[in-house]
Amino acid sequence: MAKGLHDVSRQRFWRLNPLVRCLSGVLLVTSVGAEAREYHFAASSLEGDMLSQQDIDLSLFSHANTQLPGVYPSRIMFNDRRAGDASITYLGTKNGELAPQLTPDMLRNWGVDIDKYPKLAALDAVVPLPHPLGDYIPQASATLDFSTMTLHLSIPQAAVAGNGRDYIAPSRWDDGVPVAFADYSFSGSQNQDSGQNTTTNQYLNMRSGANLGGWRVRNYSTWSKTDDANSWDTVNTYVQHDIDAIKAQFTGGESSTQGEVFDSLQYRGINVASDEEMLPYSQRGFAPVIRGIASSNAEVSVRQNGYLIYQQNVAPGAFEINDLYSTTNSGDLEVTVKEADGTEHHFTQPYSSIAVMQRPGHMKYEITAARYRADSGSDQNEPLFAQGSLIYGLNNSMTLFGGLTASDDYQAVNSGAGIALGSLGTLSADVTAAKTQLDNGTQSTGQSYRLLYSGKIDTTDTNFTLASYRYSTSGYYSFADANQKYDEHEEDLLFNYNKRNRIQASVSQNISGVSFYLNGYQQDYWHTSQKERSVSAGLNTVVEGISLHVAYTYSKTDEDQSDQMVSFGFSMPLSRFLPRAWSSYNLSNSKHGYTRQSLGLNGTLLDDERLSYSLQQSHSNHDGDDTSSLYGSYRSQYANMNAGYYYSSDNSRQLSYGLSGAVVAHPHGVTLAQPLGSQFAIVNANHASGVRFQNQRGIQTDWQGNAVIPSLSPYQENSIRVDTTSLPEDVDTTETAVTVIPSRNAAVVANFDAHVGYRVLITLMRPDGKTVPFGAIVTALSPVISGIVDDKGTVYLAGVSDTVQLSVKWGSAADQQCTAHVSLGAAVQASNPAGIRSVNALCQQEPQHVN
């Protein structure tokens, strides 16, 4: 629509203003030949005698690069790097150019080290500089590009604060507005087997919270229900606040330690820990991506520390989980894929910290005083404990770290170092010595040695997300293992057989356009031959537009049970026949020789691809079953929805469904939204409904003019942009982008000054029958909109209500101003794609009062 409006305006301008083109050419030649010299011209030269009879004041434009002084919203570019947006006051100079009124505080926030310049530092921090910037910092300048409203600051490198090129001052971090919200994910299924027996299963993941100032309160709970039982589990509840001065987070309540020096522990208490995301990207030192294969409409469940932290229905074929909320920063993930026919596949996704490294001079720390929280469903002691860790970057090639853990029956000390291997990545090694008194009174001491590696080998393009090896002596127990209760049962594996060796790796390799990946781990124990193993491997490539994949998974938890599957598949685009659609084929083989073949059709619909669908037909050699399935998902402005149906030739069937979204109460109302993520923005579009946003599928403002933009990056600039091509006919906005910088877990407001009303061409006539002069400025106060009159006395305005009062001015004298009252009741709908209306209005001068 914006394009149509632009075309109409452009056609009308060039059709009605042939001499304006001539004037543009004259001005261009004059400016090139005379550079910045002053130039003078008579108003009659615009259109001859017709405009010579009109009293037009063009003195403002008699100098190059001149504009009216005032307060202008400006984009700040600091040495060609975006430093934010600000409303800057500009004053006119002797030559008519605009000079920005800058304060020392502004310069400091944008990254100028004003303390290096005593003359500048001595000034009042909030009072504009009395002299140009170059008088205080040699070779510094501030220049306004009025055409783009961009203030360019050129600052010598010596005057730039050493905070990193991506530095964003804490003063720009936005703690947001008071909110209360509930972020939910609900899924369920109803299954009927061949004997007509019906079972149901439902799961709810609820993340709720409230923000007030810089304080955040969060609760993470889950609910699950089957035919036999239902349960409600509170995973954690905590309060959190930024500590800006030391780049850290304070957390009180139920949470988990970061798990870089020691293994991550769940606790109930208080914690202060460094937050690296407060640092610029250039100064920063992990939930993993889970990949798998579903043979039918399947239910994927992920457990960590005994808690069910993720459950979702997926369509047949390869799936990828990259939006996982983890309860801790380490702790293996147990993944279950439950097919529509009830069969299950299990594998373990190893999950631990990466190699320990810090930049030179940087320090990362964590202090915890709390009570230990046992895994859900486990029978463990929960003692009070204290733990502290410190990581310090010694120089470019070495990082030192260590820590202490202490409770009544357990003491441990850790010490280690990380080494930078240049292009080969990073390697860290450490040893933990522990003294333990077990639940049966036995005392034990031991050590655990660990190697961690992460990096990339450029010569072979090999990425090691994580490779680690840990060896523990027979007397070593981790804090979590030491709290196992002893009840003389042989199955007390962790109590009787403590961990010995553990090796894990996550590797990816790209060769000639073929991407390989390998994830695996193995754990064994003292005094037993039992081992835990898990392996997943695969390759992906694209050949002539056809995507191919091969995958293998294997999991073994004891000597008697193992689970494995191998699959092959491809997908082919059908855009020549069906836009945004592709066909797929998948062949999978699981243990016991079960083989399944599937043929599918997948695609997306609607203008922003918010609706997706999947049709699948499968055949299995297990009892010769044929199955059909249908799966679809829809992203609406209120929530994300999905549903699936599965039918087998043995008369078994399954209906699955899901709903995920959020309810947010905020100062502008109550808004239903898609899932929030950690930080989110509340968009207020001045009561304009139906406004959409770029790269946000399905999101638009509701009847109150509000919308929620989820999943923002903390402490970084996030740009929210209006999709102007889809604006409703009765909505217009002068702002198309807003930048927000939320602090952690903040809900920030992004205001767009949208105007709800008509697009109108108004022809303004004066009482003597003449039109208002060309170049006159037209302004409406409610809402504030403006435009410039063309040579036919016509002005274009957007966002005009049914009745509006216009102030028209083409000079400073009383007879160079008039007021028009416009009613659109008799407006004529113009024949153009933008829905522009046309109306005539009488512009009358205000009566003069003589004393």
Q: What percent of the chain has pLDDT over 70?
A: 83
Q: What is the pLDDT of residue 700?
A: 92
Q: How far apart are CA 207 and CA 220, in angstroms?
A: 5
**Token representation of residue 507:** 């590797």
What is the DSSP secondary structure assignment for residue 111, as one 8-state letter?
T
Q: What is the pTM of this model?
A: 0.70
CA angle (580, 581, 583) in 5-degree steps: 155
Mean pLDDT of the chain: 82
Q: Report whether pLDDT(22) > 50.
A: no
851, with CB counted inside 10 A (0-12, 13-18, 19+), is: exposed
Q: What is the pLDDT of residue 455?
A: 76
Name every residue whose Cβ is closer than 8 Å to that of residue 159 and which is 6 or more positions away in sequence. 112, 113, 116, 117, 137, 140
Note whether 484 and 441 are within 8 A (CB). Answer: no
Q: What is the mean pLDDT of residues 50-62?
A: 52
Pairing label, strands 758-765, 837-844: parallel
Q: What is the pLDDT of residue 4?
A: 43
Q: How far apart are CA 29 and CA 34, in angstroms?
A: 8
User: What H or E segment, with its residue span, contains residue 496?
Assistant: helix 493-496
Q: What is the mean pLDDT of residues 668-691?
A: 92
Note whether 139 and 156 are within 8 A (CB). Answer: yes
Q: Report whether pLDDT(125) > 50.
A: yes
Q: Report whether pLDDT(819) > 80.
A: yes
Q: What's the pLDDT tens digit per position in 466-495?
A: 778 889 998 999 998 888 877 655 455 555
The alpha carbons of the chain give a radius of gyration, in whole angstroms, of 34
SS3 per residue for 328-380: CCCCCEEEEEECCCCCEEEEEECCCCCCCCCCCCCEEEEEEEEEECCCCCCCE
pLDDT range class, residue 354, cuts 50, 70, 90: low
Q: What is the pLDDT of residue 266?
A: 92
Q: Cα–chain-centroid distance for residue 250? A: 23
> For residue 306, which phi and psi values (nearest 5 degrees)?
85, -10
Q: What is the mean pLDDT of residues 728-754?
A: 86
Q: Which residue has the higher pLDDT, 591 or 327?
A: 591
Of 51-55, 529-533, 782-786, which has the strongest mean pLDDT? 529-533
- For 187-207, the DSSP string reads EEEEEE-TT--EEEEEEEEEE
Q: Report whether pLDDT(843) > 60.
A: yes
Q: What's the pLDDT tens digit per position in 387-418?
A: 999 999 888 678 999 999 999 999 999 999 98
Q: Report whether pLDDT(737) > 70.
A: yes
Of 184-188, 461-465, 767-771, which has the strongest mean pLDDT? 184-188
pLDDT range class, residue 447, cuts 50, 70, 90: very high
pLDDT range class, residue 16, cuts 50, 70, 90: very low
Q: What is the pLDDT of residue 830?
A: 53
Q: What is the mean pLDDT of residues 728-741?
A: 81
Note whether 240 and 213 are within 8 A (CB). Answer: no
Q: Which residue has the higher pLDDT, 603 or 7?
A: 603
Q: Which residue has the higher pLDDT, 375 or 206?
A: 206
Note whether 565 and 588 are within 8 A (CB). Answer: yes
Q: How far apart are CA 172 and CA 353, in angstroms?
A: 31
Q: Report whether pLDDT(538) > 60.
A: yes
Q: What is the mean pLDDT of residues 351-369?
A: 80
Note whether 142 and 152 are within 8 A (CB). Answer: yes
Q: Which residue has the higher pLDDT, 647 or 95?
A: 647
pLDDT range class, residue 743, cuts 50, 70, 90: very high
pLDDT-wise least confident of 502-511, 644-653, 829-838: 829-838
* CA-wise closest residue to 337 among 604, 588, 618, 649: 588
Residue type, position 507, single letter: V
**Token representation of residue 750:** 């992004």
Note whether 844 and 834 are within 8 A (CB). Answer: no
Q: What is the pLDDT of residue 337?
A: 86
Q: Which residue has the higher pLDDT, 10 or 793?
A: 793
Q: Is 459 helix (H, G, I), strand (E, B) or coil?
A: coil
**Token representation of residue 575:** 């855009």
Q: What's the pLDDT tens digit per position in 413-443?
A: 999 998 877 667 788 999 999 999 988 888 9
Q: What is the mean pLDDT of residues 69-86?
A: 82
> For residue 470, which phi and psi values (nearest 5 degrees)?
-130, 135
Q: What is the mean pLDDT of residues 289-318?
A: 76
Q: How far apart are CA 266 and CA 259, in angstroms?
A: 10
Q: How far apart are CA 86 and CA 114, in angstroms?
A: 19
Q: What percent of the chain has pLDDT over 90?
A: 32
* CA-wise closest residue to 593 among 566, 616, 619: 566
Q: How far apart are CA 358 and CA 261, in angstroms?
A: 13
Note whether 576 and 570 are within 8 A (CB). Answer: no
* CA-wise closest residue to 154 among 166, 164, 140, 165: 140
pLDDT range class, residue 655, cuts 50, 70, 90: very high
Sheet holding 150-154, edge to edge: 98-100, 81-92, 70-78, 150-154, 141-145
Q: What's the pLDDT tens digit per position in 264-289?
A: 899 999 999 999 888 876 566 545 56
Q: What is the pLDDT of residue 521?
A: 87
- For 517-574, the DSSP string reads EEEEEEEEETT---EEEEEEEEEEEEETTEEEEEEEEEEESSSS-EEEEEEEEEEEE-
Q: Which residue has the higher pLDDT, 228 or 46?
A: 228
Instruction: Say what the alpha-carbon torsion angle 79, 84, 85, 86 is, to the nearest 10 degrees.
Output: -80
Chain length of the chain: 851
Q: What's the pLDDT tens digit per position in 200-212?
A: 999 999 999 999 9
Site of tokens 């939006």? 323
